[in-house]
Amino acid sequence: MTDSKTLGLYLHIPFCRSRCYYCGFYSVGSKLTDSFLDALVQEMENKSKLFEDKLCDTVYLGGGTPSVLSGNQLKSIIEALHRYFHIYENAEITMEMNPCDMTEAYLKNALEQGVNRISVGVQTNRDELLVKIGRCHTAAEAEKAVNRAFKLGFRNISIDLMCELPGQTVDDFEKTLKYVVHLPVTHMSVYSLILEEGTRFSQMASRGILARPSENDSWAMYQAMCRILPHYGFERYEISSFARTGFQSAHNRKYWKLEDYLGLGPSACSRIGHERWENISNLRLYEERLVADEPVEEKISLSPKEEMEEFAFLGLRMKEGINGREFYQRYGKEIMEVYGSVVKKLVKEKMIFLNNGNIQMTYKGAALGNYVFEQFLLD
- The residues, any chain, with a CB within 8 Å of residue 79's CB and separated by 6 or more, are none
Q: Are residues 176 and 61 in the same domain?
A: yes
pLDDT at residue 57 tops 90 = yes
Q: Are residues 251 and 330 in the same domain?
A: no
Instruction: Report if residue 291 sits inside a domain.
Output: no
Q: Are residues 156 and 25 in the same domain?
A: yes
What does the alpha-carbon distance between residue 361 and residue 237 come to, in Å, rounded to a whole number? Answer: 12
pLDDT of res. 2: 55
Q: Are residues 311 and 232 in the same domain?
A: no
Q: Are residues 248 and 316 in the same domain?
A: no
Q: Are residues 204 and 138 in the same domain?
A: yes
pLDDT of res. 250: 98
Taking CA 308 as the corner, what is the angle to CA 304 and CA 310, rounded to the nearest 5 degrees?
115
Q: Number of folded domains in the chain?
A: 2
What does the alpha-carbon distance between residue 374 and residue 368 come to, in Å, rounded to a whole number? Answer: 10
In tens, the pLDDT along 299-313 reads 999 999 999 999 999
Domain that holds residue 343: 304-375
Rg (CA), the chain: 21
In tens, the pLDDT along 174-221 reads 999 999 999 999 999 999 888 788 888 888 888 888 888 888 999 999
Instruction: Report if residue 152 sits inside a domain.
Output: yes
pLDDT band at 136 (very low <50, low <70, confident <90, very high): confident
Q: Mean pLDDT across the stretch 75-86?
A: 98
Q: Are residues 91 and 220 in the same domain?
A: yes
Instruction: Report if residue 295 sits inside a domain.
Output: no
CATH, residue 87: 3.20.20.70
Domain limit, last residue, from 240, 256, 272: 256
Cross-strand bridge partners of residue 95: 61, 118
Q: Mean pLDDT across the stretch 321-347?
A: 96
pLDDT of res. 1: 44
pLDDT at residue 318 tops 60 = yes
Q: Are residues 236 and 315 in the same domain?
A: no
CATH, residue 335: 1.10.10.920
Q: Judge whether 156 and 116 are in contact, CB under 8 Å.
A: yes
pLDDT of res. 196: 81
pLDDT of res. 3: 64
Q: Are residues 39 and 132 in the same domain?
A: yes
pLDDT of res. 335: 95
Instruction: Report if residue 272 sits inside a domain.
Output: no
Q: What is the 3-state secondary structure (H, E, C) of the chain?
A: CCCCCEEEEEEEECECCCCCCCCCCCCECCCCCHHHHHHHHHHHHHHHHHHCCCEEEEEEEEECCHHHCCHHHHHHHHHHHHHHCEEEEEEEEEEEECHHHCCHHHHHHHHHCCCCEEEEEEECCCHHHHHHCCCCCCHHHHHHHHHHHHHHCCCCEEEEEEECCCCCCHHHHHHHHHHHCCCCCCEEEEEECCCCCCCHHHHHHHCCCCCCCCHHHHHHHHHHHHHHHHHCCCEEEECCEEECCCCCCHHHHHHHCCCCEEEECCCCEEEECCEEEEECCCHHHHHHHHHCCCCCEEEECCCHHHHHHHHHHHHHHECCCEEHHHHHHHHCCCHHHHHHHHHHHHHHCCCEEEECCEEEECHHHHHCHHHHHHHCCCC
In angstroms, what CA-CA distances link 348 with 1, 227, 269, 344, 367? 41, 25, 37, 6, 16
Q: What is the dihedral of CA 106, 107, 113, 117, to 10 degrees?
A: 140
